[in-house]
Amino acid sequence: MSLEREEPSHFGAGPAQLPTNVLQQAAKDLVNYQGIGLGIGEISHRSGDATEVIESAKANLRNLMNIPDTHEVFFMQGGGTTGFSSLATNLTAAHVGKTGSKGTAGYLITGSWSAKSLEEAQRLGIDSEAIFNAKDFNNGKFGSIPAESEWAAKLKSKDYSYIYLCENETVHGVEWPQLPRALIDSDVEIVADLSSDILSREIDVSQYGVIMAGAQKNIGLAGLTIYIIKKSILENISSASLDKLRQLGVPITPIAFEYPTVVKNNSAYNTIPIFTLHIIDLVLRQIIAKGGVAAQQKENELKAELLYTALDKYSDFYAVPVAEECRSKMNVVFTLKKEGLDKKFLDEAAALKLTGLKGHRSVGGFRASIYNAVSVESTKTLAQFIEDFASKNA
């Protein structure tokens, strides 16, 4: 079977398109990794070869994101939903280790994923609450981020163990343009889900307590998640005894998801999916070769501009239900104002080999996810189709 393929123009929200050359190399390595006679998925997770993959991925991520020595990098099975659970219990334990109190976890709700994360913390029995729910400021719908003046004062109202935000909401197409100043200036640890925009733009990692990012949107396959965490938080988690956590009613983190344990074992406490990590590393190397995150950000901004310009040009035909100041550069969501044309839009797009454009089942409409691997050329084709479809069907 040939490993060649026509370059896709797939705008699915995840699992998402990956660079063809990365998949080609990974396919070869799945059969015979570096000539050792075994595939990358067959080697022991504690072997020298596996350790080299882990260390290479960590080093390349540090390079690309300029991760300071104050932070540790590790990899853990699962995706964002696993992260919701593990973040809640680990960060609460860290607060216990630091202060002796379990505190309250605060959540900034800007879409369905941050809402689900809060729901999971509450399901586990973590003392947690919404600092704000963006729906309350936007007629009961997601699509905007309230001004800091509306909620910043609340940060000082109680002992918050951490503040959580999802920087890019894939379902609703809402993205924080930058970390809120009020959070940066507070003493509360910032915990952020970057699953759908990691490595899409430059950020200052030093401002975060924890960064969590599932791989399957921008940097790899489903099944593995990147974590970047302050070393001081790891120390605080380790300082919280099980007896103290039980005394305070804090749920105990399962051992395979306890962050200090994972770090001490170099992400291999249990069997890490090394093939999945190898693909992440191949993607990281490609971004480095492209010119790093700065070059990738420039490309992503161009792609987003192409699509939003086309949609805004035909604002009588298309609706973009997101405030302009927080439009996602990764997930462009839109609907048709004229009824009865949704299927025709998808069918005609598919005829041009533009796929993955159907909106999330909870909101309908359309969603063009323009992650790192989606080319400028594919985005130009989609932008032209958006204009042509409006012209013909207005």
Compute the distance between CA of residue 16 and CA of residue 220 in angstroms, rounded to an integer. Answer: 8
Judge contact between 376 and 303, C-beta under 8 A.
Answer: yes
User: Tens digit of pLDDT for each residue in 118-157?
Assistant: 999 999 999 999 999 999 999 999 999 999 999 999 999 9
Q: Please identify which of the residues 58, 98, 113, 230 carries the catalytic annotation.
A: 113
Cα-Cα-Cα-Cα dihedral sign, residues 217, 221, 223, 226:
negative
Which parts of 16-134 fold into alpha helices (H)?
20-31, 48-65, 80-99, 112-124
pLDDT at 155: 95
Q: Which element (helix H / strand E) includes 387?
A: helix 376-393
pLDDT at 265: 97
Q: What are the phi and psi torsion angles at 132 (to 5°)?
A: -155, 160
pLDDT at 68: 98
Compute the distance between CA of residue 224 and CA of residue 221 in angstroms, rounded to an integer. Answer: 7
Helix, strand, coil share (%) of the chain residues, nearest 5: 45, 15, 40
Judge contact between 193 and 212, C-beta under 8 A.
Answer: yes
Name every residue whose Cβ is closer than 8 Å to that of residue 50 and which is 6 or more positions away in sequence. Answer: 43, 44, 268, 272, 274
Domains of the chain, residue spans:
48-287, 292-393
Name every residue whose Cβ is closer than 8 Å to that of residue 42 and which is 6 or more positions away in sequence. Answer: none
CATH for 292-393 is 3.90.1150.10
Q: Is the pLDDT of residue 364 over 80?
A: yes
Judge contact between 197 and 215, C-beta under 8 A.
Answer: no
Q: For residue 113, indicate whether it is catalytic.
A: yes
Q: Which of 118, 132, 129 is nearest to 85 (CA)?
A: 118
Rounded to the nearest angstrom, the gap between the alpha carbon of residue 373 and the centroid of all alpha carbons in its chain is 15
Mean pLDDT of the chain: 96
Compute the distance between CA of residue 345 and CA of residue 393 in angstroms, rounded to an integer. Answer: 10
Q: Which of 393, 382, 307, 304 is nearest to 343 (CA)?
A: 393
Q: Tokens in use for 201?
A: 């733009």
Q: What is the pTM of this model?
A: 0.97
Ordered DSSP codes for 264-299:
HTTT-SS---HHHHHHHHHHHHHHHHHTHHHHHHHH
Whole-Å CA distances, 27 to 55, 147, 279, 286: 21, 47, 10, 16
Based on the number of CB atoms within 10 Å of its own CB, is 140 exposed (0-12), middle (13-18) or buried (19 or more)?
exposed
Compute the distance between CA of residue 219 and CA of residue 9 in angstroms, rounded to an integer. Answer: 17
Cα-Cα-Cα-Cα dihedral sign, residues 136, 137, 140, 145:
negative
**CATH class of the domain defined by 48-287:** alpha beta
Compute the distance between CA of residue 86 and CA of residue 78 in angstroms, rounded to an integer. Answer: 10
Compute the distance between CA of residue 58 and CA of residue 226 in angstroms, rounded to an integer. Answer: 10
Q: Is the pLDDT of residue 1 over 90?
A: no
Judge contact between 178 and 326, C-beta under 8 A.
Answer: no
User: Tens digit of pLDDT for each residue in 287-326?
Assistant: 999 999 999 999 999 999 999 999 999 999 999 999 999 9
Confidence of residue 361 (pLDDT cuts 50, 70, 90): confident
Residue 239: CB atoms within 10 Å = 15
Q: Which of 254, 189, 193 is nearest to 226 (CA)?
A: 193
Q: Tokens in use for 316?
A: 């009588």
Q: For residue 154, indicate whether it is catalytic.
A: no
Judge contact between 335 and 321, C-beta under 8 A.
Answer: yes
Q: Please identify which of the residues 58, 98, 102, 217 carries the catalytic annotation.
A: 217
Compute the distance between CA of residue 173 and CA of residue 142 in angstroms, rounded to an integer. Answer: 9
pLDDT at 392: 96
pLDDT at 394: 87
Q: Please identify which of the residues 29, 58, 176, 193 carries the catalytic annotation.
A: 193
For the chain, what percent of residues have pLDDT higher than 90? 97
Q: Is the pLDDT of residue 275 over 90?
A: yes
Compute the distance between CA of residue 297 and CA of residue 303 in angstroms, rounded to an integer. Answer: 10
